Amino acid sequence: MKSIAVLSEVAMELCYLTATRKTIGVIAISEDEVELYLKKTTSPEVASFIKFGVNLLKTGSIFSPVLKMYFDAKMMECTRNPNISIEELKAIQYSIYLFEHVQKENVADILRVSENIVIFEYGDIFSFYESSEEVIQKFIRTLRFLREKDSEYVFVDRKEYEDYKSEGWKHNVD
């Protein structure tokens, strides 16, 4: 099985951003806050790229070939950076695709797509759901938490989300 720690953190963050964007709007999202929290679980380079993506979304542009071009140009810089691992490059590449879903503000859709991407990278759908690995359990339960809050039309603030992601998921067993 492949390592999915960085990808799962990026996917969870973009799912959270989608839920936040849907309820309070993109302008209220702090790209500095996003970067700060992602730096705790990923590299500064990955956090910086996600911050870049949030800034692009805040320009109000629809996800178009031009916006994709900006992402691709930034991705080129990342590929040349020797401090970025393959796992991080993959997470960055997948994030470009996920940003398109963030913009649509469809929480159910981005949760489904994120889960599919992480499962694909993990390598085996059957062992994924049966896994006792902490990173996988955290990912599955955090996405479930966001799905439940979205279905109840409940806004999740950053503190509640970070509390759940750091400890709450451990107590929310099926």
Position 61 scores a pLDDT of: 63
Q: Considering the entire predicted model, what is its pTM? A: 0.91
- What is the pLDDT averaged over residues 48-66? 83
Which structural domain range is residue 156 located in? Answer: 5-164
CA distance 7 to 95: 8
Segment 104-137, tens digit of pLDDT? 889 999 999 999 999 999 988 888 989 999 999 9
Asked if residue 92 belongs to a domain, the reply is yes
Asked if residue 128 belongs to a domain, the reply is yes
- What is the pLDDT averaged over residues 59-88? 86
Task: Give me the helices (H) in 40-85, please.
Answer: 44-58, 65-79
Tell me what the pLDDT averaged over the chain comes to.
90
pLDDT higher than 60, residue 3 = yes
Asked if residue 170 belongs to a domain, the reply is no
Domains in the chain, number? 1
Asked if residue 174 belongs to a domain, the reply is no
Q: How confident is the model at residue 173 (pLDDT cuts 50, 70, 90)?
A: low
Asked if residue 173 belongs to a domain, the reply is no
Asked if residue 36 belongs to a domain, the reply is yes
Position 59 scores a pLDDT of: 80
Asked if residue 172 belongs to a domain, the reply is no
CA distance 144 to 157: 16
- What is the pLDDT averaged over residues 4-31? 90
Find, among 21, 112, 121, 103, the residue nearest to 64 by Cα.
103
Asked if residue 45 belongs to a domain, the reply is yes
- What is the pLDDT averaged over residues 50-75? 84
- What is the pLDDT averaged over residues 61-66? 74
Q: How confident is the model at residue 159 (pLDDT cuts 50, 70, 90)?
A: very high
Between vectors from CA 166 to CA 90 and to CA 170, what angle results, nearest 5°?
A: 105
- What is the pLDDT averaged over residues 24-36? 87
pLDDT higher than 90, residue 171 = no
Position 63 scores a pLDDT of: 72
pLDDT higher than 80, residue 145 = yes
